Structure 1
């Protein structure tokens, strides 16, 4: 199964079924050449994003396009990720003639915007859409302005497609890319007739770690492209992170009291088995089960009585009796992937753990669920430790839990035969390409010296929520907070998000 998944992705296996409530969309991508596998990853990411509107999607390499295929879909999306890829004549002809919404992202617009000899703009294109393609602009434009808000662009961008607007009556500029000082700019996203054009792949490198949130603009415009009216209520989700048998039960009860008083439901990410095999905490190896941590169990049940839901956060949130990558302690380390640390303290990804298999991960999940059941607790969902596991693992997570509450991975194989992935940070709930429901995490977490980092205080997360509110129509303000931080910071966080107009929801209530 996973050989096919890694090569094509399950959404590409067959045309859409009639199970969804909306007309199907067609997503085409460049698959040729050395970097062709990248197009497949982002095409599947786009399909995942469209699942929020329950839009069925058929993903296909543009090289396989046949004449008239667009006619069978409500919208067509093309991801131009391979520079000057030889697009099929049938695709180019249909792209020019279709009257249905067509969204073109990234490279190769010149293949339909210019004459066949590439010496001039094609009148058929300019007359219909009101603009033409000019050139790839390599000027660094790290800011995207949308709805009056400045978003971070792709920090790794190789250039943006610059267009020239010829008929302002036909063209609506939706977002603008600009230099940091604002002295140079270009239309980043625009609509001309039925054609939407985005100057790059707006989903690429839209990771929290790369500080690029320009994808929010595109994810909002998607509602217009597919004529979808999202729910208007501003929703928020909160996770209390890394709770384990060695957590302080008094802190857990204080959190429960505070959130109950604030009217904030939440989830508690529980690590059922605590391990410190190298004695990192106090020089002595330590292993603690939930069953032996009666005060912690009592506190968890108290949290449930005050609006908390339990989700499982791995079994031990660490691996074996080694540093992986930091201390070997539950909550610090990776559980499903081997990771080293270089001399500068940077994590170096190695690969899945040696034991990785469906049987191995099923056993770890079963051990965790049994540990919870042994103290009469039930997990409603899952959160992958440090958001990293293998494709086999993610399949099993999906099979065993109603939903996941973390950023997901989309996997492929690079030209060297190595496992590759991109991370998806959607602003609203989606169904991923394995069929699992994934709830969003959009704001990050409060980061303090206790966590080894500084820079994201409650006010910073509230500022993100404010921007999210202004930029998106249906984005969730979703974040997490570590149980050992001061409850005063938690109070500031939830009050600030509520003051922005967001309503906190239980995770399970968002599944439909």
Structure 2
């Protein structure tokens, strides 16, 4: 009798095992999704000067949503060995040129996913023989062929008109509304894709970013990460508005960010104000940090030369439109390579300028982090004033912060060349920093339609299943304007508020290390070596 019970028990356990395995089998979606760590992307590019420009950096931001392994190689330098172990290959022809003869057979042995963008399609061997490039056309709308109701208004965009074989799948289609003409924008045959544009930017590439989920076979949840950031909070900010806004967010149980500037500098007298001079405001900030708010370091003084705190460009010399290569009271002229006898001399000159910039930024970041910590405020991310900073500057910041919020300046040529991205990403040019992009803009003073215009932007970024919905607000505008904004954002479908404390973040400076663990802020401070930053 005991033996039969044992047999029954073993049979029952075996039955449960088979039911569990069968259930798991049914729960797996058709086609195994790629894991981020298994994806290795290579971008071969053709630009006018052979250098990585702003369009390639935006492509980097898109691709790095799916993988941390992205390599960029010029079409002049690429070799067949560079394609080894690559799972996803991109060719971006920004200019129409004669490619090296090696391209005739370069891709013959490559059988992974291949995405071609822009010009020179017919010079990539036989991979894209199903497409014939024709003329250039202009469109002002783009939509997924699987959902023509969700239209992306691109105002005006030039595309390359193509003729495709009958068995080609059209994924994105463009329309010219004035005559209702339609053109393929993104097409697919087997594992070859072609995107018929030569310039890529956030405003026009949202739907391309959405299709990349399928190209990489990465399945993200249909939810929209979101944040609200209270901007330019410096020692002279009125604590009353800030406190009321914090109470509204606490009551709604919405986590948020506070972009803090530790020092206010009077542009007329040079007098400096610290949070130690504003005890009531400091008390409000510490309450906010305890009740859902996360501190973001927004520069140290948010000014340069004689500009006012909150108005100046702390990490960019707007007067010369260059990175910070000299002290504010020193005359400066950026020399060109032609001003030097040898290339080596010029490179040494540039290295010295970059070292000056590095020292300047390191000083500002260290002072900012240390000063806030002395008040019991713990910054969890960084935002450059006016989003302006050189590419070298981002490298420096990545050594102090794991996370950056806002837009990104993607050219050292001009501070106005900046962009955002539809979703959270960690582009290779940010040296490992995670980017939490701002996408919706801010409430502009004296603009009665500001919030509604921001909600129109939200509809654009909702075209991507995990598109970011992030905005910022200046507390001096008052509580009523904030209520309107937050109530409209709450109505956005599938919104998921970001809490920096719930993310895996770290911040480092001399004698200070801040990190998050289980939703709490942890700080390691060497109290022996750590000296409080004086009010200087």
What's the TM-score once normalised by structure 2's chain length?
0.75
Structure 1 residue 427 and structure 2 residue 422: aligned? yes
Select the residue among 288, 296, 307 that pairs with 1:303: 288
Counterpart in 2 of 1:144?
A: 142
- Structure 2 Cα separation of the partners of residues 55 and 277 of structure 1: 43
| Contact 2:324 2:357 (8 Å CA) reproduced | no
Select the residue among 83, 89, 108 that pairs with 2:120: 108
Q: How many residues align?
A: 437
- Structure 2 Cα separation of the partners of residues 90 and 500 of structure 1: 51
Counterpart in 1 of 2:50?
A: 36
Counterpart in 1 of 2:3?
A: none
Counterpart in 1 of 2:388?
A: 388
Question: Of the two, which has the highest radius of gyration?
Answer: 2
- Structure 1 Cα separation of the partners of residues 439 and 228 of structure 2: 11
Counterpart in 1 of 2:42?
A: 26
Provide closer, same or farther for how the CA distance between residues 398 and 97 of structure 1 changes in structure 2, counting only shifts above 3 A. closer
- CA distances 1:211-259 after superposition (whole Å, capped 9, x unpaired): xx22111111111111111233322111110111111100011010111
Counterpart in 1 of 2:341?
A: none
Counterpart in 1 of 2:401?
A: 401
- CA distances 1:477-500 after superposition (whole Å, capped 9, x unpaired): 111111112323322322322222
CA positional deviation for 1:445: 1.2
CA positional deviation for 1:370: 2.7
CA positional deviation for 1:437: 1.6
CA positional deviation for 1:312: 0.7
Counterpart in 2 of 1:46?
A: 59
CA positional deviation for 1:357: 2.3
| Contact 1:30 1:40 (8 Å CA) reproduced | no
SS of 1:222 mapped into structure 2: helix
CA positional deviation for 1:51: 2.3
Structure 1 vs Structure 2 CA RMSD: 2.7
Counterpart in 2 of 1:117?
A: none
Structure 1 stretch 85-94 or stretch 52-61: which is displaced more?
85-94
| Contact 1:236 1:504 (8 Å CA) reproduced | yes
SS of 1:475 mapped into structure 2: coil
- CA distances 1:196-223 after superposition (whole Å, capped 9, x unpaired): 111114524x3xxxxxx22111111111
- Structure 2 Cα separation of the partners of residues 286 and 468 of structure 1: 43
| Contact 1:68 1:94 (8 Å CA) reproduced | no
Provide closer, same or farther for how the CA distance between residues 424 and 390 of structure 1 changes in structure 2, counting only shifts above 3 A. same
Provide closer, same or farther for how the CA distance between residues 150 and 448 of structure 1 changes in structure 2, counting only shifts above 3 A. farther
Provide closer, same or farther for how the CA distance between residues 359 and 66 of structure 1 changes in structure 2, counting only shifts above 3 A. closer
Structure 1 residue ranges (4+ consecutive) displaced by more than 6 angstroms after TM superposition:
418-421
Structure 1 residue 267 and structure 2 residue 257: aligned? yes
Counterpart in 2 of 1:61?
A: 74
| Contact 1:44 1:59 (8 Å CA) reproduced | no
Q: Which consecutive residues of structure 2, in runs of 5 or more, have no partner in the other structure?
A: 1-34, 328-355, 506-536
Provide closer, same or farther for how the CA distance between residues 288 and 161 of structure 1 changes in structure 2, counting only shifts above 3 A. same
Q: Which consecutive residues of structure 1, in runs of 5 or more, have no partner in the other structure?
A: 1-18, 114-121, 207-212, 280-284, 323-327, 341-347, 413-417
SS of 1:497 mapped into structure 2: helix
SS of 2:170 mapped into structure 1: strand
- CA distances 1:279-325 after superposition (whole Å, capped 9, x unpaired): 7xxxxx653111111111011112112210111100110113x2xxx
CA positional deviation for 1:270: 0.3
1:240-251 equivalences under 5 Å are 240-251=230-241
Structure 1 stretch 140-149 or stretch 493-502: which is displaced more?
140-149
| Contact 2:141 2:152 (8 Å CA) reproduced | yes
CA positional deviation for 1:194: 1.9
Counterpart in 2 of 1:339?
A: 318
Provide closer, same or farther for how the CA distance between residues 411 and 490 of structure 1 changes in structure 2, counting only shifts above 3 A. same
Select the residue among 206, 209, 217 that pairs with 1:227: 217
